[in-house]
Structure 1
Amino acid sequence: MKDTTIACIFDLDGVLVDTAVYHYQAWKKLANSLGFDFSHAQNEQLKGVNRMRSLDKILDWGGIVKSQEEKEELAALKNTWYVDMISRMSASEVLPGSLELLQDLHDRDIKIALGSASKNSGLILERTNLTHFFDAIVDGNAVTTSKPDPEVFVKGAELLNAAAEDCIVFEDASAGIEAAIAAHMAVVGVGEAANLPGADLFIKDLTGVTVQQLIDLVAKKKG
């Protein structure tokens, strides 16, 4: 069955797989090495934010000033620890409902893109056996600005040859929600509604999400 009325763009971390725990562990290790601690609440503020902006926030929280060269070295160190962790990921870490929805969209010939701030998305998709579902991958290696700038989603739609009004973004971070809204796309907030203002639909995870539900969401959004 072919359906070209919608296109779907998925964030990666916290939507399809849970790598947030590894980001947290790596950032916490870095903060501890600099002499201060790093909390889960602070980690929430880094969702959807690229590596250098995240580092700037963490250094601010620790009251530490570093040169640009030093910051690049710290970011690289954090990434080394993080990559070591995600290199041991497996398909068992795909979040509930993700595989079923991706398969359903794929079976319906609905175009799928990744829209992630991660520069390690290729490795994560490979380790979790999700690569083959994606018609386009836009990640931190392909954009110059991070969310809440809409660049990642705009590029995703362009690669899918889809109009913005036909796209649905799946996001678990407020910065990503803002980016999707700025891109004039429908957006599904994955997680707690209170943390995702502006989303058109709120879900705990991708379990039970149907293609028809998504088609109806786009139709309603168009008015």
Structure 2
Amino acid sequence: MQKPKAFLFDLNGTIIDDMHYHTQAWHAIMKDELAANLPYEAVKKEMYGKNHEVLERVFGKDKFSLSEMERLSIDKEKRYQDGFRPHLALLPGLSDFLIQAKKADVLMAIGSAAIPFNIDFVLDGLNIRDYFSAIVSADDVKTSKPDPETFLQAAQLLGIAPEDCLVFEDAPKGVEAAQNAGMNCVVVLTTHSKAEFDDYPNIISFIADYNDAFLKTPF
């Protein structure tokens, strides 16, 4: 591929290794408050998209009112942040990678299904907000990944053509969103195994973290 002009990062599982804490928070709420007898692995499979979409996939669209889903969402995010806060850290190698990308004049954006409350928790907690010229959150799109809206909007905000963007993702639905946007993708293997990405020809590399030798080439 040609040298990318922009890097688009998912947040959870891609910048930080926190997906276990999201799943743990939802699992606790579903088990203790909503009496759903779901094993942890079943909840893990639903960990994509907006919070109300998670609830609707698990319980059906008519189970909760909008106010009930909002209350459950806030409770979940508070549980997640309380659990993850002591472990808040960038993935290995990412700090240097962001520095090198900025020096190389590669534009960067966040394209995440997270709400602003959680994006702010990460960007400000780790003092990395200045690296990103655009942020697209769950509140900014009508349709979540695998719809391409998140990444297409991020590219538009940066003023970069989709084909000149390289996406960093950790989840199959995110990779599918990148594919639907016409973007190549690097998969960070924090949450899913390689075998779960067999259907996506837009993947150009798998990395364990940002120390991977492959990441010397995009510059």
TM-score tier by shorter-chain length is: 0.7 to 0.9
Report what 2:65 is aligned to. 68
Structure 2: gaps spanning 5 or more residues: none
Contact 1:105-1:211 at 8 Å conserved across structures: no
What are the superposed Cα offsets for residues 148-195 of structure 1, whole Å, 9 maximum, x if unpaired? 000110011011110111000011111101100010011111112212
Q: Select between 38-47 and 192-201 the one with higher mean Cα deviation.
A: 38-47
CA distance in 2, matches of 1:204, 1:210: 11
The correspondence of residues 98-109 of structure 1 with structure 2, limited to 5 A, is: 98-109=94-105
Contact 1:7-1:112 at 8 Å conserved across structures: yes
Report what 1:19 is aligned to. 18
Structure 1: gaps spanning 5 or more residues: 216-223
The correspondence of residues 5-154 of structure 1 with structure 2, limited to 5 A, is: 5-33=4-32, 34-59=34-59, 66-69=63-66, 70-86=68-84, 88-89=85-86, 93-119=89-115, 120-154=118-152
Task: Identify the match of residue 206 of structure 1 among 201, 205, 210.
Answer: 210
CA distance in 2, matches of 1:132, 1:21: 27
Report the residue type matching 2:12 in the other structure: D
Taking structure 1 as the reference length, what is the TM-score of the superposition? Answer: 0.82
Offset of 1:132 from its aligned partner?
Answer: 1.7
Offset of 1:29 from its aligned partner?
Answer: 1.4
Contact 1:101-1:210 at 8 Å conserved across structures: no
Spell out structure 1 runs of 4+ moving beyond 6 A.
none
Contact 2:172-2:196 at 8 Å conserved across structures: yes
Report the residue type matching 2:174 in the other structure: G
CA distance in 2, matches of 1:26, 1:143: 24
CA distance in 2, matches of 1:117, 1:180: 13
Of all paired residues, the percent bearing the same amino acid is 34
How many residue pairs get aligned? The number is 207
Taking structure 2 as the reference length, what is the TM-score of the superposition? Answer: 0.84
CA distance in 1, matches of 2:87, 2:99: 18
Offset of 1:99 from its aligned partner?
Answer: 1.3
Q: CA RMSD in A?
A: 2.3
CA distance in 2, matches of 1:32, 1:151: 33
